[in-house]
């Protein structure tokens, strides 16, 4: 009887080893799959953040078209009416203010409000707005408002590196992705 019970204990050990080994393999497989899914979702999340820039710039374009149709000029005041972009990630605006005139003053517009810093940039206490605008002037020197047109920008640092994600839109609704911060992901 002792001879029969010893192999049964040994078989039990082999079975337990096989079960725990399989569970460890499944755990490694699940962990690896989770990592792949997580990195894939991260890329999709960043693409969704880029959609925010496209949508907000398109809204800014529409607001500019309404101002042009109603008042016959484009405005750089981002705090006026429907032109106020609210964003957690992207900063919006023009690299310089449009000239003030009697009409803009009568409408309560302030051309000096031509740059809207994102909430995230403010909370991170990133460089002051003038430093950010100076960098933006290098990337898009023609992001200005004139009598005949405008080109607005949106920029953000989506992945924490030194590069920015930069988008522009103009009076002809040409939406351009000037610099992709996600190229290195």
Q: Which residue has the tokens 């000037």?
A: 178
**Residue 39 falls within a domain, yes or no?**
no
**Residue 35 falls within a domain, yes or no?**
no
Q: Given pLDDT bands bounded at 50, 70 and 90, which one contains residue 165? A: very high
**Residue 162 falls within a domain, yes or no?**
yes
pTM of the model: 0.70
**Residue 25 falls within a domain, yes or no?**
no
* Alpha-carbon span 119 to 56, nearest angstrom: 15
Q: Is the pLDDT of residue 25 over 80?
A: no
* pLDDT of 95: 87
**Residue 80 falls within a domain, yes or no?**
yes
How many separate domains does the chain show?
A: 1
pLDDT in tens, 144-161: 998 889 999 999 888 888
Question: What's the mean pLDDT in 162-166?
Answer: 89
* pLDDT of 8: 53
Q: Is the pLDDT of residue 54 over 70?
A: yes
pLDDT in tens, 26-53: 555 555 455 445 445 555 666 778 888 9
* Alpha-carbon span 140 to 43, nearest angstrom: 26
**Residue 59 falls within a domain, yes or no?**
yes
pLDDT in tens, 106-130: 777 777 777 777 666 654 545 677 8
SS3 state of residue 178: strand
**Residue 151 falls within a domain, yes or no?**
yes
* pLDDT of 116: 73
Q: Given pLDDT bands bounded at 50, 70 and 90, which one contains residue 162? A: confident
Nearest to 172 by CA among 87, 71, 84, 74: 74
Q: Running DSSP on this structure, what letter comes out for residue 70?
A: H
How many helices (H) and strands (E) in the chain? Answer: 4, 5
127 φ, ψ (degrees, to nearest 5)? -50, 155
Q: Given pLDDT bands bounded at 50, 70 and 90, which one contains residue 58? A: very high
**Residue 17 falls within a domain, yes or no?**
no
Segments forming the whole domain that contains residue 93: 52-179
pLDDT in tens, 67-103: 899 889 888 888 776 666 766 788 888 888 877 777 7
Structure tokens at 5: 């019970």
């Amino acid at each position: 009887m002792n001879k029969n019970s010893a192999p049964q204990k040994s078989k039990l050990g082999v079975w337990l080893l096989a079960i725990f080994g399989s569970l460890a393999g499944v755990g490694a497989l699940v962990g690896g799959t989770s990592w792949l899914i997580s990195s894939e979702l991260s890329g999709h999340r960043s693409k969704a953040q880029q959609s925010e820039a496209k949508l907000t710039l398109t809204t800014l374009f529409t607001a500019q078209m309404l101002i042009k149709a109603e008042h016959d000029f484009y405005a750089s005041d981002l705090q006026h009416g429907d032109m106020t972009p609210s964003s957690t990630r992207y900063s919006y605006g023009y690299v310089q203010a449009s000239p003030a005139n009697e009409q803009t003053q009568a409408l309560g517009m302030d051309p000096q409000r031509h740059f809207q810093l994102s909430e995230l940039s403010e909370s991170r206490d990133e460089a002051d707005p003038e430093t950010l605008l100076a960098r933006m002037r290098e990337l898009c020197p023609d992001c200005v408002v004139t009598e005949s047109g405008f080109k607005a920008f949106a920029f953000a640092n989506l992945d924490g590196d030194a590069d920015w994600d930069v988008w522009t839109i103009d009076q002809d609704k040409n939406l351009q992705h000037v610099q992709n911060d996600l190229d290195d992901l």
